[in-house]
Amino acid sequence: MKSSDRPLSEAYDVALLDLDGVVYVGHRPVPAAAESLAKARAAGQRLAFVTNNASRTPNAVAALLTTVGVPASPEDVVTSSQAAARLLSERLPAGSKVLVVGGMGLRQALYARGLRPVSTASERPAAVVQGFDPNLSYGLIAEGSKAVAAGALFVGSNGDFTIPGADGVPRPGNGSLLQVIRTATGVAPIVTGKPERPLHHESIIRTGAERPLVVGDRLDTDIEGAHNGGADSLLVFTGVTDPLAALTAGPSHRPSYLAADLGGLLVPHPEVREDGGGYACVGWTARWDGDQIVLTGEGDPYDGLRALAAAAWRADAPSPPEAVKGALERLGL
């Protein structure tokens, strides 16, 4: 755990924000997200909205953000499609043909980088790029497979195996769909989205961030992506990750800061210090007693969670759920 004696909106020049589960869920705004982001902007922090979703264009993402109360322009949006297009433009000559197994977001990103999107293997593309599209057809996947088998470079916009469903049941994501071409050809794709470094690199280039803070709700994409990019991170609990999952995370999935929601950008984050074999944060102390962590004290439950996290993360090996559940129940989180 890190500490900050200033609000994070003042300590970091750019917040690299995940979208679904952080700013909105589906098309519904996360409570207080718009207000918190407006205050962060007023404090001088720049905001960038970073998404693994390759199906939407930056214009579409900006429009959705605006409808949930967060004014945004296309220039504020960084997508995995843009990261994929940059990687391809750095490896291929200008004007090269790229077979697109995906939607308009990918096509626009390729055009912007001087590449030529195509749809059939008969055009002998130099590369195949695949991104999520809910209307993806078998025929287009088959064309991509044919081109990869013929030697085309294979790039995937992101490797998320699932995406949230409107009914709460996960749906297959691009990572699952990538396995079709991978299985058919034996060729593994280069993945550019979170948690891989290309999307983080794209975000830094587009924002010019000198001290970025990654803000997200997923350990395996947002927090691991920050870890891979060497950036600090803030985990919020408005999306898929709950406190138990955070406490039992391995090293690459451990955030720098914890907060209930985006209001965590607006406040200082107190120090967790070692205290007589335990870990103390404001009014709470967490210490190991045999194979369990015991939490004592009172005050803000998130200060208790910080102390508990420091104890749970004392070793590289993830703590077992049984070691932290009792202490976590005491916080009411």
CB atoms under 10 Å from CB of 35, counted, come to 15
3-state secondary structure 278-324: EEEECCEEEEEECCEEEEEECCCHHHHHHHHHHHHCCCCCCCCHHHH
Which of 18, 76, 133, 220 is labelled catalytic? 18
Q: Report how far residue 259's alpha carbon sits from residue 18's, in angstroms, rounded to the nearest whole number.
A: 15
Cα distance between residue 257 and residue 240, in whole Å? 17
d(CA 110, CA 21): 28
Instruction: Single out the catalytic residue among 5, 13, 20, 291.
Output: 20
Question: For 124, left (φ over 0), alpha (ψ -120 to 50), or beta?
Answer: left
Q: What is d(CA 13, CA 94) in angstroms, rounded to the nearest whole number?
A: 34
Instruction: Find how far residue 333's CA is from the centre of its chain.
Output: 23
Tokens of 256: 């720098």
Q: Which residues pair with 15 in a beta bridge?
A: 47, 213
Task: Report the DSSP pairing between strands 212-216 and 190-191.
Answer: unpaired
β-strand partners of 130: 101, 156
13 is a catalytic site residue: no
Give the orientation angle of helix 197-207 with respect to helix 80-91, to 10 degrees.
90
Known active-site residue 217: no
Cβ atoms of residues 232 and 2 within 8 Å: yes
Distance CA 188, CA 156 (A): 9
Residues taking part in catalysis:
18, 20
